[in-house]
Structure 1
Amino acid sequence: MCVLCGEFVMQVHWTDQASDDSSQVIVGDQQRDRQRTRIHRTTLCNEILRFYQLTLEEWNGSKFILRDPKGNQEIVHDLGTLWYTAEKILGYAIDPLDPYLLQKLQNK
């Protein structure tokens, strides 16, 4: 059980599974590689979220914390709910094909 949120961590979300692994990942197996991959995915997400002045932080290997510059924050359970949560904090829909966003990502 997660001490801070009182939730049972029973299975890993599919976004935390290795792309070459067809079997189900069990918490604890290859934890170091899974954590390294989570941190890498967090870094990639932050490249996009920076455009919206949001930051994502990996939290304890099971959740993420999404923050805005005003101090608002939300717990994101997995990357599948990240964009919904970002839109909730922002108050408007995110357009992944926004030409200005794509230009910023290319010029990085």
Structure 2
Amino acid sequence: MCVLCGQDFVAQVHWTDRHLEDRARAAAPGSDPVAFQGDRRRDRAHRVALTNEILRHYGLKLADWGGSKYVLRDRKGRSEIVQDLGSLWPAAERLAGRVLDPLEPALGETLAGEPVVGAAGRG
């Protein structure tokens, strides 16, 4: 356990990161594991960008922290370290001080008015 942040060093891989971990394990012997790390970082950056499209509506922002955890911040300067995207939403509700409803009409309007980052050119 980290004495500074109180987070566990050993954690299970969240399902959002699982497919790249499985691909790396299934790779042929002698293949370059660094290539999978680049893919993993790009996928995490894309997930952070998409998640921030939603979190912006609630005054929150997510950042990747070293490729292993995330830092969630609000506009008041408060922050929480989250292990994975599964633990993000309870932390986001604590920082926002309210329940985050994905079906909230105002959220839909916000998302409809802004283009989703990274959606163009993806197939």
TM-score by length of 1: 0.82
Q: Does 1:46 find its partner at 2:46?
A: no
Unaligned runs of 5+ residues in structure 2 are: 26-32, 115-123
Match of residue 85 from structure 1? 91
Secondary structure at 2:87's aligned position in 1?
Answer: helix
Match of residue 33 from structure 1? 39
**2:22 and 2:18 mapped to 1: Cα distance?**
9
Q: Which has the larger Rg? A: 2
Count of residues paired in the alignment: 104
With a CA cutoff of 8 Å and minimum separation of 6, indicate the structure with the bigger relative contact order: 2
Unaligned runs of 5+ residues in structure 1 are: none
The alpha carbon displacement at 1:16 in A equals: 1.2
**Judging changes above 3 Å, is the alpha-carbon distance between structure 1 residues 10 and 101 closer, same or farther for their aligned structure 2 residues?**
closer
Identical-residue share of aligned pairs (%)? 52
Query: Aligned to 1:96, which of 88, 102, 114?
Result: 102
Secondary structure at 1:80's aligned position in 2?
Answer: coil
**Amino acid of the structure 2 residue aligned with 1:31:** Q
**Judging changes above 3 Å, is the alpha-carbon distance between structure 1 residues 89 and 25 closer, same or farther for their aligned structure 2 residues?**
farther
The alpha carbon displacement at 1:86 in A equals: 0.2
**Amino acid of the structure 2 residue aligned with 1:95:** D
